[in-house]
Structure formats: C-alpha cells, structure tokens
Chain A
Amino acid sequence: MVIGERKPFDEIMKMLEGVKKIAVLGCGGCVTVCLTGGQDEVRVLSSQLRMARDKEGNPIEIIEKTLERQCDPEYVELAEGMASDVEVILSMACGAGVQFMAERYKDVPIYPALNTTFVGGSKKEGYYVERCQTCGECKLYFTGGICPIARCSKSLLNGPCGGSTKGKCEIDPEVDCAWQLILDRLKSLNQMDRYTDIMPINDWRTNRDGGPRKMIREDFQR
C-alpha cells in the first residue's frame, strides 16, 4: 500500500490562513489502512483544526467526509455537492488522490494534509516499512523475494558493499543489509546460482527517469 504521514499541524494551519469553510476529505484506501487519512483521522484533524481556530477566536466550519478512494473517478465524483460549498478541500489522501481531486474540481483549491512517503506494508499495527520503489522492473525472482532497489541503501544490484557489517547497513545499525538478507535467503532456498550470476546494469527508463508512467489494460478500453 501507499504509506503517508500527516503533515505537521502548523503547516496545515498555515495553508488554511484566512479560510472560513473547508472540507476535510479522507480516503478509504491505503491511507485508511496505514492510519493516516481515513475516517478516524479526518475526525481527529477536523477536531484539532476547530479547536485551534476557536482558540484564536477565528472559527472555521468543517465538513467531514471520507470517499471510498480518491484515486478513482467514480468515487471522486461523489464529492461534487460538497466541493461547490467550501473554499478549500483539505485532502487526506496520498499525492495521487489529491491530484485526482484537483483534476476533477477545477474551481476549488485542493490542499494536501499528508506527505506521501513510500510503498510498503505493516510489520505490525501502526508500524510501516518500505518494500517497493516502483522501479518498473521487478527483480525479486533473482533475489529471493527481497528487493535490492528498495531495501539496499545504495540500490546495488550486485551486493553487498563494504559497508555491510554483521548483517547491518553502514547508514544505521538498525537497518538490515538487504544483500545479507538476500544471501541468507538464497542459501536457504538452495538458489545460490542466482547470486553468482552478475546482474546487468539497470534500465532506469522504466523507473521515474522515463517520465510519468501509465498502465493500460486494452480489454477495458472502449
């Protein structure tokens, strides 16, 4: 899932300076699962904003709503009545959701309440880790299901480097060396031949370096 983190409260307050009526719009997708932009978080942020503004003697009116997903036109459509009724929409979706909203509702500013941080998963409740860098050329077949692009600090394709000590990375003693993990896993799977093959230089055009990407399922095109 896409992991997001809420922006600092002061930054959000600054974005809303002089605004009297807003909508705080949650997203029922990834950011609900990672506990940063779902219905509960919409309520919490709205309550904080109301209190902070009441305290200043400058109250703010807030409509609280959560869409099923903000990255899908059929759900984005459901905010129509509300969008014309407010000065600003504060979106608690990831960057994709904010942009889908902005593309659909051209007359109302859409501000982000989150910083979209990475693609990952939950190790346990409320603890999220990065696992994918969406490079567009998956290498997990060769590396025992551990991604050297996302998890090696240098994104090395033929590691480990000299900074690997006792299974940890030189950037932080708490960060696992991805290549040590890959080695251990390939050994246990009896697939060390994949380690001895040298991986060729990566084609980064499938990554962001090739410009914005798209994916089209032809059988769904009408």
Chain B
Amino acid sequence: MPEFEPIVVAFCCHYCAYGAADLAGSMRLEYPTNIRIIRLPCTGKVTPIFLLRAFEKGADGVYVAGCLEGDCHFIQGNLVAKPRVNYTKKLIQEVGLEPERLEMFNMSAAMGPRFAEVAREFVERIKQLGPSPLNKKFHIQSDAA
C-alpha cells in the first residue's frame, strides 16, 4: 500500500496568509508539499460551496487562512468566514466526513514561520485521519497495489 500523502487545499487571503506563504518561501522555511494554495481577495469571499467543492473533488483536508481577528483588510471579512467554516463543518459531518478535515486559521503577512507551522500541523492531522473516502486517486492507487 502506498504511503498516504494527503491533498490539502488552503484558501488563503491575499493580504495575510498568502503573503505569509510568500515570506515562508523567502525565509526558506520548509513546509509539506501537500498544500495547494488558492488565493482569495479576502476570506470573506469563502462560501460553503467553495469548501464543499474541494472535498467533492477529493481533497483530504481543507483550510481557510485569514487575517488576525480585528486586522482584516476589508474590516470584517475574516469574521464573516469564521461562522461559514463552522457551518460547513456541520455540512461535511452530515455527509460522513470528519469535521476535523476542515479548519480556519488566522495569521498576519509577517507570520511566515506560523504559515509553515500551520501547514505542517494540518497535514499531520490529516495523515492521522487517513484519506478521505472521496479521494479517488488514492483509492485507485491503493487498489492497484
């Protein structure tokens, strides 16, 4: 059986987490290559369907990374995203996926090391949970092996 390398989609705000990812790169910090970053103008752009589509297409974990609370570039986009992420946790639980596969994090653009830490911790969490039953790629590979 091949080792499980999760696919994690990270919805990152342009003004903070995306900058933090950039900084993590400039600082030559290592973080897992499992992360697929999708840049958003603000986490307030996130609706449940964004997150559900990621799971539907086989992501093993999804997280939303926005500005520190009180520091949103658009004043309160991150506060809009937070209850939406919590609501979507319930939606994926109804489907039979673990709510821990979805999370929201807050960080500033200056927090490159924190970005790398979040990426490492989250990938580790998803490895513990195992592959999503909707991750067809993994299941086809393991069936073949």
Contacts and interface: CB of A to CB of B under 8 A. Distances in A.
Interface of A: 9-10, 40, 43-44, 47-48, 50-52, 54-55
Nearest to A52: B95
A176 B134 CA distance: 47
B95 A43 contact: no
Interface stretch (B15-23, B46-54, B68-76): B46-54
19 contacts: A10-B94, A40-B47, A43-B49, A44-B52, A44-B91, A47-B49, A47-B56, A48-B52, A48-B94, A50-B56, A51-B52, A51-B56, A51-B95, A51-B97, A51-B134, A52-B96, A55-B95, A55-B96, A55-B134
Interface string B85-114: 000000110111100000000000000000
A54 B91 CA distance: 16
A173 B89 CA distance: 31
Interface residues on B, range: 10 to 19
Interface string B4-20: 00000000000000000
B25 interface: no
Contacts, number: 37
B134 A44 contact: no
A10 B47 CA distance: 23
A166 to B, nearest CB: 31
* Dominant SS among interface residues on chain A: helix
Interface string B43-66: 000011100110110000000000
Nearest to A57: B133
Contacts of A54: 56, 133-134
A9 B52 contact: no
Contacts of B97: 51
Contact of B55 (A9, A40, A43, A51): A51
Contacts of A52: 94-96
Contacts of A44: 48-49, 52, 91
Contacts of B48: 40, 44
A9 B56 CA distance: 17
A40 B91 CA distance: 14
B75 to A, nearest CB: 16
A16 B54 CA distance: 24
Contacts of B47: 40
Contacts of A10: 94
B11 to A, nearest CB: 16
Given A50-B56, A54-B134, A9 B94 contact: yes
